[in-house]
Amino acid sequence: MKSGDGMATTLMLAAWLLAAMPAHADIYKYVDKHGRVILTDKPTHTGYKRLVKTWKGWEEAKSRIALKDFEKNRSRFTSTIRQYAERYQLPHSLLHAVITAESAYDPEAVSRAGAVGLMQLMPETARRYGVSNRRNPADNISGGTRYLRDLLLMFNNNVQLALAAYNAGENAVKKYGNNIPPYTETQNYVKKVISYYHEYRKSMT
């Protein structure tokens, strides 16, 4: 078999495996030293990268934080999250849910669109809320929390609409008559954050 044929077969298998994976499971990808793509919902080491499904197809998640660092960083930022949740009168479990979905608690996370930090602030959002350093965890959480609070006020405390606006922008929600926009990424994002929110409400006091 030619090397090109082998690579094509590998890519076809990868596509088939992605389609066959359970919809509710996180999917992780690892490329070994021979260029073979390994997909699983149960990663065995930190070399695996989590995949997310976007309108462009399957891509690596915004955060490349190692799995072992997730709990450590969540613990590290919990007091700051609680501080700003109380200041802006939002459930801290909701902020945890957003941060989990946005960055997996990686303060250095950067998206392809240019969003940065724990709550993935875009430059214009950071400017709106006076955040000069988006990589500063406290400033990032403060700006993101204020933005989320304002979105909740804008959409009459409808959490799903506020989350949709956080992901796609408030104008997108308004464009579709104050409904969740028909974007697969945004609809999946809202479902994911709501799921995290319910879990954190059960586990956090």
Q: Please enumerate in sequence order all residues whose Cβ is within 8 A of that of 103, keeping only pairs 6 or more positions apart, or say none.
A: 62, 63, 65, 109, 117, 118, 119, 120
Active site residue 102: yes
Q: Which tokens belong to 141?
A: 């959480």
Catalytic residue, candidates 60, 71, 86, 102:
102
DSSP 87-155: HTT--HHHHHHHHHHHHTT-TT-B-TT--BTTTTB-HHHHHHTT-S-TTSHHHHHHHHHHHHHHHHHHT
Q: Which tokens belong to 68?
A: 């072992």
Quote the CA–CA distance of 152 and 15 in Å, as a whole number: 38
Active site (catalytic) residues: 102
